[in-house]
Amino acid sequence: MFGGTNKRAGIAAGIAAAGLAFAGTAPASAADLGGNCCADLEERVAELEATTARKGNRKVSLTVSGFVNEALVGWDDGRERNAYIVTNETAQDRFRFVGQAEITKGWTAGYLLELGVRGAREDRSSQNGPSSDNGVSVRHSAWYLAGKEYGKVWVGQTSDAADGITEINLANTNHFAYTNSWGNTFGDGGSGFYVRRKDGVLSNVRYGQFVAPGAQQAAPGEGHRFNVVKYETPTIAGFTGSAAWGEDDIWNVALRYTGEFSGFKLAGGIAYTESNDFGSADHTSAVSRGVGDTSEIGLSGSILHVETGLYASGAYGRLHDAGLDDLYGRNVDDNTSFWTLQAGIERKFLPIGKTTLFGEYFNLDRGAGYTTSATGSGIINASTLGTGFNQVANSQIQGWSIGLNQNLSEVVDLYLDYKHVQLDVTTTNGTATRDASIDSIQFITAGAQIKF
């Protein structure tokens, strides 16, 4: 039915176009026949258009966008090396649909639908091979109502107030480096690469067990995407505030700033989060960040000198888990914190696009901690680290990296990144402590992000 209607409309439109073309080439005397020669035809075209099915698409705009970000990751754990093709989880492949409609003057409503796509998942790969955890996932599914002078309210699965708070960076590197790229490279959520001892033995403990649990990966203080109600204030003098509540167990508030002063671009933000969604052997959740009440603070900032392209970006986060003492049955170190600093230069050395050169340092200190897995949660079993003790008193992940990104016509980014990671673990039997002897692990990532 719809096909037939559109066909007739197309024929009528073609006849109209031919008529107009003929009118433009005919002698002037032909125009004297009357100014309404095409009135009947135009009326028929309008009638056909009126019968075409509509679903409000002339009132609600629709924008489709996204990108693909695949890479080659090579690794060397001191005894074994290999390379995999993976989806770069620092900026996962995705496509999004954004709609917006004006309700009345100064008020709009809209929606955001975004799906993530994975081939081989980078943060689940290990010495056993690339991850087979692939597929399509829902990243955003939410609507909003916005008033120009009153701010915006979101409802649905979308970013909470703290999402991206430790990732503020004015340089073009967030699709493969900075903050969460570390956990995505060596592992997160209790997964990832296994820890290699210096005597060559491969333990059954993974790097992902030594980062903060939950969907936020290696960055305490970082937010994520949940089912939330979120409010964002209008931007005033460069500042924007936000607050979110959701999953019936989590809430956070944040303040962000962007501006430019005396030839420098500035950006920064800070957020505070509380959650009482406990992790346990029979209850795991993306919201869960500990085995008791957790509180977090996260912040980041970036400065870029416009003329030279020199920039520096830094981030910090801290998480407190009030349930660890009960889990261990004694007083333990129940804080996890991290900081990172990236600095470099970004400017147009080549006519094809801007080049970014940078170096970065990452440090993550974790206390006793606990691990999550598909079968539940509990104390990390460190018995294969070779110390004779099976519990972790504290740990530290330190890493440094150098990288390069070359932008091509604003739609393609080619990147290369080298990371050197060292894990230090102190184990305990509850009274005495011993340091494990762990080899370093290295990664080199080469890939591209293509936007559409």
What confidence tens digit (pLDDT) does each residue in 69-90 have?
999 999 999 999 999 999 999 9
> How much is the average pLDDT of 361-384?
83
* Span of 209-213, 391-395, 413-417 with lowest mean pLDDT: 209-213
What is the dihedral sign for C-alpha 43, 49, 52, 53? negative
Res 174: pLDDT: 97
d(CA 427, CA 109): 54
d(CA 364, CA 337): 6
- DSSP codes of every residue in 382-446: -GGGSSS--EEEEEEEEEEEEEEEEEETTTEEEEEEEEEEEEEEEEESSS-EEE--B--EEEEEE
> How much is the average pLDDT of 394-416?
97
pLDDT, one tens digit per residue, over 95-154 is 999 999 999 999 999 999 999 999 999 999 999 999 988 999 999 999 999 999 999 999
- Tell me how many degrees the CA angle 381-77-178 measures, rounded to the nearest 5: 90
Res 371: pLDDT: 80
Res 214: pLDDT: 78
pLDDT, one tens digit per residue, over 293-316 is 999 999 999 999 999 999 999 999
Residue 281, pLDDT above cutoff 80:
no
Q: Dig out the tokens for 12 from the structure.
A: 């009528």
Residue 183, pLDDT above cutoff 70:
yes
Average pLDDT value for the chain: 88
d(CA 116, CA 94): 4
Residue 31, pLDDT above cutoff 60:
no
Res 182: pLDDT: 94
Residue 5, pLDDT above cutoff 60:
no
* Span of 6-10, 190-194, 314-318 with lowest mean pLDDT: 6-10
What percent of the chain has a predicted confidence (pLDDT) above 70?
83
Residue 370, pLDDT above cutoff 70:
yes
* Span of 184-193, 316-325, 334-343 with lowest mean pLDDT: 184-193
Which of 381, 439, 370, 450 has the alpha carbon at shortest distance from 415?
Answer: 450
Q: Dig out the tokens for 53 from the structure.
A: 């099915």
- DSSP codes of every residue in 142-170: EEEEEETTTEEEEEEEEE-TTTTTT---S
Res 57: pLDDT: 57
pLDDT, one tens digit per residue, over 212-247 is 887 666 689 999 999 999 999 999 999 999 999 998
> How much is the average pLDDT of 33-42?
58
* Span of 252-261, 362-371, 373-382, 425-434 with lowest mean pLDDT: 373-382
| pTM of structure | 0.85
> How much is the average pLDDT of 158-166?
97
What percent of the chain has a predicted confidence (pLDDT) above 90?
76
